[in-house]
Structure 1
Amino acid sequence: MAATGTGKRDYKGFTPRMGVYAVRHLPSGRTLLGSSLHLQGILNRHRFQLETGVHAQQAMQADWRRDGRDAFAFEILDELKPLPDRPDHDPSSDLAELEALWRERLGLTPQTTYAR
């Protein structure tokens, strides 16, 4: 049976979404805030590491073990669009600035964040 491509991602033209994300522990409000060139990929990685018990952020892993997956929200907070007229542009500094803006907007402090 030949593959028709229906239901499969066409990776050749795939452009990952980049921007700022949060992994939030709902009972405490503690948040892991970050930015990535591939939002869905980083959120999947955090979820997988928590589910398998190997996440590097030990406090977040302990919260996951105690409260379970339903106690967490995985969110995309903001996105950066690629610059079509500048395909070689490195968005790293733009992402860092956007992350800092979100940290301020959310009022995150060392007590309300998971350290990265």
Structure 2
Amino acid sequence: MKPDMGVLAVINKNDNRYWLEAAPNLKGKINSVAFQLKNGSHVNRQLQKDWNDLEEEAFQIVVLEQLEYEEDESKTDYREELELLKIICTDKLKEQGVKFY
């Protein structure tokens, strides 16, 4: 069974700021991001600082959009499609006035 792929968001519920990431394996990436934040090693320093200051309860990690696999089984590289999906998600959220890390 292939892993779900798509775009995930870490959302600061206090100020509604988002951090987005496209992932070929959503479950694995969600676990990785949560682990990094809990251990103080997330790549986005401002997000990490807010996580440390506000603690885990102030955040949620959600799947924004999923990308379906093509019927052509020979296609294995979905990086371009995932990045495009992330851009689409970012644009939609910007239209709603969302701020980002």
- TM-score between the two structures when normalised by the length of structure 2: 0.88
Aligned to 1:19: 6
Identity of aligned residues (%): 29
- Matched letter for residue 48 of structure 2: Q
Give matches, 1:23-102, under 5 Å.
Answer: 23-102=10-89
Structure 2 CA distance for aligned equivalents of residues 77 and 29 of structure 1: 14
Q: Is the 8 A contact 1:83 1:89 kept in 2?
A: no
Return structure 1 stretches of 4+ with deviation > 6 angstroms: none
The one-letter amino acid of 1:16's match is P
Matched, 1:106 2:85: no
Q: CA RMSD in A?
A: 1.7
One-letter code aligned to 1:23: V
- Cα distance in 2 for partners of 1:23, 1:103 equals 13
Give the deviation of 1:84 after TM superposition.
2.7
Structure 2's unaligned 5+ residue stretches are: none
**CA distance in 1: counterparts of 2:12 and 2:43, whole angstroms:** 16
The number of equivalent residue pairs is 99
Higher RCO structure, 1 or 2 (CA under 8 Å, sep 6+)? 2
Deviation at 1:89, TM superposition (A): 4.3
Corresponding residue SS for 2:52: helix
Moved more, 79-88 or 94-103: 79-88
